């Protein structure tokens, strides 16, 4: 996440269990959508708006690339389960997760939008991390993560292996996506993508 998550609590002093639950849910959203820009969470306990029970309210605002946003305001008007703040937190984050899954691009069609691929070679690997850098044919170094290696296992790649990849702007610089290892034949090189 590019911006540190903002988590606040109103109308009650949360226990460490409640704080941990919110942090865990934020981390889960990041796993589903690793390119989150920001996340703001407001947990309001004991709203006192109802005659029966004190229901909790959870508001979540997630900023995404290209100015997209996801907003959830869960107050469980008729859900007595939301008298338990952890249940309200769970339900709110599941609603945010459903919205994010609707926005997240389908990997089968994402390539159609970014058809331009570059060639390059594996420049180096980052020690103790499943990641490395590709030296592109344009002279730029592109960061890549193991999950971006599509048609071969990351651990089979070697320095100087030829690859093709799709370019994307990462929050720390240029990134290589959908990395394919190119095969070299005795007649010359060809790609398998």
pLDDT digits (tens, 9 = 90+) for 135-189: 999 888 999 999 888 766 788 899 999 999 888 877 778 888 889 888 754 334 4
pLDDT of residue 68: 81
Coil, helix or strand at residue 151: coil
CATH of the domain spanning 109-190: 2.40.50.140
Tokens linked to 115: 């058809």
Residue 66: CA atoms inside 13 Å, Cβ hemisphere, count? 4
Dihedral, 135, 138, 142, 146 alpha carbons, nearest 10: -60
- Cα–Cα distance between 166 and 178 in angstroms, integer? 6
Rg of the chain's alpha carbons, rounded to an integer?
Answer: 22
Q: For the chain, give me the number of helices (H) and strands (E)? A: 3, 11
> According to CATH, where is 3.30.160.100 located in the chain?
6-104
Distance linking the first and last C-alpha atoms of the chain: 31
- Give the residue carrying structure tokens 């820009």: 37
Bigger pLDDT: 123 vs 55:
123
> According to CATH, where is 2.40.50.140 located in the chain?
109-190
Tokens linked to 22: 């919110």
Fold of 6-104: Double Stranded RNA Binding Domain (3.30.160)
pLDDT tens for each residue of 84-112: 888 889 999 999 988 888 875 544 344 44
pTM: 0.51
């Amino acid at each position: 996440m590019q911006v540190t998550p903002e988590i606040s609590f109103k109308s009650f002093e949360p226990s460490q269990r409640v704080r941990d639950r919110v942090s865990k849910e934020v981390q889960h959203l990041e796993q589903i959508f690793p390119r989150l820009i920001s996340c703001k969470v407001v947990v309001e306990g004991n709203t006192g708006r109802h005659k029966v029970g004190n229901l909790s309210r959870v508001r979540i605002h997630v900023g995404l690339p290209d100015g997209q946003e996801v907003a959830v305001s869960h107050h469980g008007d008729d859900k007595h389960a939301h008298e338990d703040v952890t249940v309200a937190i769970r339900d709110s984050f599941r609603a945010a997760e459903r919205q994010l899954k609707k926005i997240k691009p389908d990997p089968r069609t994402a390539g159609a939008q970014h058809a331009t691929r570059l060639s390059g070679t594996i420049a180096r690997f980052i020690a103790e991390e499943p990641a490395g850098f590709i030296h592109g044919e344009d002279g730029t170094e592109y960061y890549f993560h193991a999950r971006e290696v599509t048609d071969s296992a990351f651990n089979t790649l070697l320095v100087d292996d030829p690859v093709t990849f799709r370019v994307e702007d990462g929050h720390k610089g240029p990134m290589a996506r959908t990395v394919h290892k190119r095969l070299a034949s005795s007649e010359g090189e060809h790609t398998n993508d």
